[in-house]
Amino acid sequence: MYTISNRLKIASFILMAVGLLGIGIGFVSAPSTVEEAKAMVEAHDDGHGGAHGEEATHMTTDTREKVTPSAEGHGEESHAMDHDEHLLHQLQNKPWAALYVAAFFFFMIALGVLAFYAVQRAAQAGWSPLLFRVMEGITAYMVPGGIIVFVILVLSVLHMNHLFVWMDAEVVAHDKLLQGKAGYLNPVFFLIRAAIFLGGWILYREYSRKLSLKQDESDDNSSFKMNFRISAAFLVFYLISESMMSWDWIMSVDPHWFSTLFGWYIFASMFVSGITVIAMVTIYLKSKGYLEQVNDSHIHDLAKFMFGISIFWTYLWFSQFMLIWYSNIPEEVTYYVTRIADYNLPFFGMVAMNFVFPLLLLMNSDYKRINWFVIMAGIVILAGHYLDIFNAIMPATVGDQWFIGIPEIGAILFFAGLFIFWVFRALATQPLQPKRNPFIEESKHFHY
């Protein structure tokens, strides 16, 4: 039986407290008027010379803004006003977007673990049953994490922020494209879908966990078989809902843009993050003397998954990028134009972190068995996939006003604290080793 150590508990509370402070600072320092926003940008520009400011005034307004055809004399003036208002919205979005990216990132880790867990059950894998309790502990975060993401979505629908521009009736009224998509992208349907997705995922998680615990105490394998069936069914539901979730929660911040493989791309990101966290939690618990039966071969297998799915993520990232870059159709290429222009380092940096780094570090078979090596690679992979979500959300919500500062880091710390606290609290509620899983003996003697 695992008990959460006091040091870990205190550390997670400190993370949450510092994170909350950072989030609060972010919201307090967001500008509330156009004048404040302009003053903030000017103060920022002083440090970098005037060139940027000049460039910004020449920038054409974003397509999402209503373009007001005006008389020649007033053209310049209204253009400048539009620009200022746009800037205000971007700066007001900053703390919200920081909160949303971090909330989604940690939620997606739990969801990725849930998908991996369901795959292991449906595939009747012989090596992983020893890790089932670890996975179940991590997916416990689905409940608070999912609720927080849902609350942020509700607040967006209630116009507390401008994360999703299609929720603004004023914008839709002047936008033919958004009117055409209103059948799908409308606030009520959006929330209903989110509730169905979250409800389905959490339902599977809770039921599978219940069956998994019941199997320990039963004298036949009926719970195990039931768990196999619902896992297979869940995977079907998951593949559909996850794809739609990625359109809803991530792609729709850029409602003029669409990509067909976006759902799989986000899936790869959450899958590899989830597997990485399983490996890291397993290594942590093992280092503390729990999980005695877990050996290097289990870590080796997890590291192989980290390696393989990292490359799978890169394959999807590149396929999406290269297809759009090659054909260069203006209506879709803007997505990458803004990212390469304004997010050059995070955009290409994440490719290095999510591909080159794991490729070279985890290729060697021996390195996959060295625990600290897996932890180091895992930290880089997790940071890389945070940047991935950052690159997906930020350009559409804060544009060129992005910065990884207090609101962003505060949000990461807060959710990291919450994640650690919730996951390890859940791990402490049940024995870490399943008792009578039909594959548990195989898993104990697993070696590669």
Partner 1 sequence: MSASKVIQAYYNDDDVLMHAVKKVKAGKHHIEEVYCPFPVHGLDKAMGLAPTRIAITSFLYGCVGLTVAIVMMNYIMIEDWPQDIGGKPSFSYIENMPAFVPIMFELTVFFAAHLMVITFYLRSRLWPFKKAENPDVRTTDDHFVMEIEVHGNENELKELLADTGAVEINISEKNSH
Interface positions with partner 1 (CB under 8 A): 318, 321-322, 325-326, 328, 363, 365
Rounded (5°) CA angle 304-306-312: 100
Cβ 373 to partner 1 shortest distance, Å = 17
Taking the C-alpha atoms of residue 310 and residue 359, their distance in angstroms, rounded to an integer, is: 8
Summary count for the chain: helices (H), strands (E) = 18, 0
Q: Are 259 and 192 in contact (CB under 8 A)?
A: no
Given the complex with partner 1, which of 189 and 318 has the nearer CB atom?
318
Cβ 365 to partner 1 shortest distance, Å = 7
Cβ 315 to partner 1 shortest distance, Å = 9
Q: Are 253 and 397 in contact (CB under 8 A)?
A: yes
The 10 Å Cβ neighbour count of residue 81 is 13
Given the complex with partner 1, which of 121 and 300 has the nearer CB atom?
300
Taking the C-alpha atoms of residue 244 and residue 352, their distance in angstroms, rounded to an integer, is: 28
Report in angstroms the alpha-carbon separations of 382 from 39, 102, 197, 301, 376: 35, 12, 24, 18, 10
Given the complex with partner 1, which of 121 and 368 has the nearer CB atom?
368
Q: Are 216 and 434 in contact (CB under 8 A)?
A: yes
Taking the C-alpha atoms of residue 340 and residue 348, their distance in angstroms, rounded to an integer, is: 8
Given the complex with partner 1, which of 14 and 363 has the nearer CB atom?
363
Rounded (5°) CA angle 95-101-106: 130
Rounded (5°) CA angle 137-141-142: 115
Given the complex with partner 1, which of 49 and 330 has the nearer CB atom?
330
Closest CA to 247 of 235, 236, 259, 234: 259
Cβ 364 to partner 1 shortest distance, Å = 9
Given the complex with partner 1, which of 206 and 442 has the nearer CB atom?
442
Cβ 442 to partner 1 shortest distance, Å = 15
Given the complex with partner 1, which of 190 and 321 has the nearer CB atom?
321
Cβ 363 to partner 1 shortest distance, Å = 7
Given the complex with partner 1, which of 326 and 372 has the nearer CB atom?
326
Taking the C-alpha atoms of residue 66 and residue 165, their distance in angstroms, rounded to an integer, is: 12
Q: Are 426 and 136 in contact (CB under 8 A)?
A: yes
Cβ 194 to partner 1 shortest distance, Å = 35
Given the complex with partner 1, which of 321 and 402 has the nearer CB atom?
321
Closest CA to 231 of 122, 347, 361: 122
Q: Which residues, including other chains, have CB under 8 Å from residue 246's CB and lie 6 or more apart?
A: 262, 263, 265, 266, 267
Tokens, residue 314: 């890169």
Given the complex with partner 1, which of 150 and 336 has the nearer CB atom?
336
**How many residues are there in the chain?**
448
Cβ 322 to partner 1 shortest distance, Å = 5
Cβ 58 to partner 1 shortest distance, Å = 24
Cβ 237 to partner 1 shortest distance, Å = 34
Q: Where are the beta strands (DSSP E) in 5-118?
A: none
